[in-house]
Amino acid sequence: MTTRSRIVGTGHYLPARVVPNSEFEARLDTSDEWIRSRSGIERRHFAAEGENTSDLALAAARAALDDAGLAADDLDAVVVATSTPDLTFPAVATMVQAGLGMTRGFAFDIQAVCAGFVFALANADALIRSGAAQRVMVIGAETFSRIMDWDDRSTCVLFGDGAGAVILQAGEGTGSASDRGILAVDLNSDGRLKDILLVDGGVSSTGTAGHLRMQGREVFRHAVEKLTATAAKALERAGLETDALDWVVPHQANLRIIRGTAQKLGLPMERVVVTVQDHGNTSAASIPLALSVAKAEGRFRPGDLILTEAIGGGMAWGAVILRW
């Protein structure tokens, strides 16, 4: 018998304010046409003043508990992937724990930027398989609007705010690739690539939050190559071929990266969940948001094989193979 971590609930939350590309045309030397054709983004949501990452995360977590038919104290742990916490400390996850009224268990944050949700899923899976937890709420939540340089047209048009959550629960499997739940993970990082995507401030350096800086073309080049490699590695670990995949739920940074990776993997776009047009790049929130939206649309069937993959600052990247 093998312990498998299964998704038993999903939820998401998007702030009320929707910002179409046209809002940027009025302020910057840019166009709806440029943003759509270079990134696939048509609109994004921005959090209201006073609405923080923990508020977004809490709303997504509540939706996931409702979806699973569970109560807060049924959870053993809360893990939040974020690079835009409310405060330097404590962790956003502990704020969610308190907000849910959860009086037991433990909560902590993970910071792997846009790959954060993949790293959080892998860590939650390890907690479950080790027996340290039976049920873990895994959340990706971000307010990237707070770290934008609004005069930098090459970045500020690309990002959005939001949160997505999944509940992982221990289940029994046979150890084969036909089990439901997480089947394989692959995690990577290369700290030598720090300078192509970073936020230029922080607690111990500038004492400010800083602004996002990105060498877009360089990040793009690494993205397609590394996402294809990590997907192949995770599939190999699961003992599966690309053909076995029913769905890919990629990090939603750029439609051209999503298409390029699907093409390299030999997967038709009909099997790829795409939400970047509506959400922009929500960093660690993008995969759980896409999972929750696709589930709400009834796209996944029990037994479907799903690949998630993401890359971001660090650089950090990885993939998870799971059976729904």
- Piece in contact with ligand UT7 (CB under 6 A), picked from 118-126, 179-187, 211-219, 268-276: 211-219
- Tell me the three state secondary structure of residue 48: coil
Q: Does 217 bind ligand UT7 (CB under 6 A)?
A: yes
Residue 114 among the catalytic residues: yes
Site string for ligand UT7, 7-36 (x = CB under 6 A): -----------------------x---xx-
Q: Does 82 bind ligand UT7 (CB under 6 A)?
A: no
In 3D space, the residue among 321, 266, 271, 267 whose CA is nearest the CA of residue 299 turns out to be 271
Residue 279 among the catalytic residues: no
Q: How far is the CB of 284 from ligand UT7 (least distance, A)?
A: 10
- Piece in contact with ligand UT7 (CB under 6 A), picked from 15-23, 57-65, 199-207, 216-224: 216-224
DSSP bridge pairs for 247: 306
Q: Does 308 bind ligand UT7 (CB under 6 A)?
A: no
| Alpha carbons 91 and 96: distance in angstroms, whole number | 9
Element (H, E) at 58: helix 53-68
Q: Does 81 bind ligand UT7 (CB under 6 A)?
A: no
From the centroid of its chain, how far is CA 236?
22
Among 62, 146, 153, 259, binds ligand UT7 (CB under 6 A): 153
Q: Does 183 bind ligand UT7 (CB under 6 A)?
A: no
Given 12, 211, 251, 279, which residue is catalytic?
Answer: 251
The site that binds ligand UT7 (CB under 6 A) totals a number of residues, namely 19
- Tell me the three state secondary structure of residue 6: strand
To 10 degrees, what angle do helices 255-265 and 216-238 make?
A: 40
Among 10, 39, 52, 292, binds ligand UT7 (CB under 6 A): 39
Q: Which two tokens stand for residue 312?
A: 């971001």
In 3D space, the residue among 62, 51, 65 whose CA is nearest the CA of residue 9 turns out to be 65
Number of C-beta neighbours around residue 289 at 10 A: 32
Given 114, 123, 156, 211, which residue is catalytic?
Answer: 114
Among 63, 68, 100, 223, binds ligand UT7 (CB under 6 A): 223
Residue 281 among the catalytic residues: yes
Report which DSSP code applies to 196.
G
Exposed e or buried b per residue across 197-223, where buried means at least 16 C-beta atoms within 10 angstroms of its C-beta: bbbeeeeeeeeeeebbbbebeebbebb
Instruction: Write out the binding residues for ligand UT7, residues 243-282 only, by CB under 6 A.
Output: 253-254, 257, 281
> How far does the chain reach from its first CA to its final CA, in angstroms?
19
- Tell me which residues are annotated as active site: 114, 251, 281
Site residues, ligand UT7 (CB under 6 A): 30, 34-35, 38-39, 114, 153-154, 157, 216-217, 219-220, 223, 253-254, 257, 281, 312
